[in-house]
Amino acid sequence: MEVYEDDGSWMWISFASNSRLIIAFTIGPRKQYVANELVKLTDDCLSKDKPIYVTDGLDFYKVALLNQYGLQIEYPRTGKRGRPKKPKIVPPDDLKYAQVVKKRKGGKLQKVEKKVIFGEDIEQSAISTSLIERQNFLPLTRQSTLKQFLADT
């Protein structure tokens, strides 16, 4: 498991970019179980049609999406020698997930890579996290308000 230097309190947000609507948020460390919780909270608010998920390069989201939507495939016994294949979780056909991976060197942005993780037919223009990053900038400018609000409630 990856260990992050900035392991502390993080606000995890899912955001519908077309309507600028914060669908769900949760607070917790940068751990897999918090990503699972965010994906579950988001899915509870959605209809049956799955949207395109776009995140940064954090791999917790990939595992969380697989946990939420994945289908378990069990391999039949072959009758041959050897250990039988373990069951595998695969993404369903209608799940679309892409990542925007930013590579930095010395704090400076060098390259932005758009990766399609699950699904096909995802337009390159749809793979972007700029709107949620802009949305996240606003609370950062009001840290004291947010801190007070979270502590009070």
Partner 1 sequence: MGKRGPKSKFTDVACPNEACKDHGVAGHGNIMGNGTYQARNTTIRRYICHTCGKAFCDSINTFYYNLRKDESIIDLALNISMKGMSNEGTAEVLKIRPATLKRWLAFGAKQCDNVNATLMKNLHVQRIEMDEMWVIVKKNSSENGSL
Give whichever of 110 and 144 is closer to partner 1, judged by the CB atom: 144
Q: Is 130 helix (H, G, I), strand (E, B) or coil?
A: helix
Name which position in 3, 5, 18, 76 contacts partner 1 (CB under 8 A).
18
Contact status: 133 vs partner 1 (CB under 8 A): yes
Spatial contact of 29 and 3, defined as CB atoms under 8 Å apart: no
User: 126: which DSSP letter?
Assistant: G
Contact status: 92 vs partner 1 (CB under 8 A): no
Which amino acid is present at 113? Answer: E
Name which position in 1, 13, 77, 110 contacts partner 1 (CB under 8 A).
13
Whole-number Å distance between alpha carbons of 68 and 35 = 11
Nearest approach in angstroms of CB 130 to partner 1 is 9
Give whichever of 46 and 71 is closer to partner 1, judged by the CB atom: 46
Q: How far apart are the first and last CA of the chain?
A: 32
Contact status: 102 vs partner 1 (CB under 8 A): no
Taking CA atoms, 103 is separated from 40, 46, 80, in Å, by 29, 32, 46
Where does this chain bind partner 1 (CB under 8 A)?
6, 8-19, 21, 23, 27, 30, 38-39, 42, 45-47, 49, 51-56, 58, 61, 126, 128-129, 131-133, 136, 139-140, 142-153
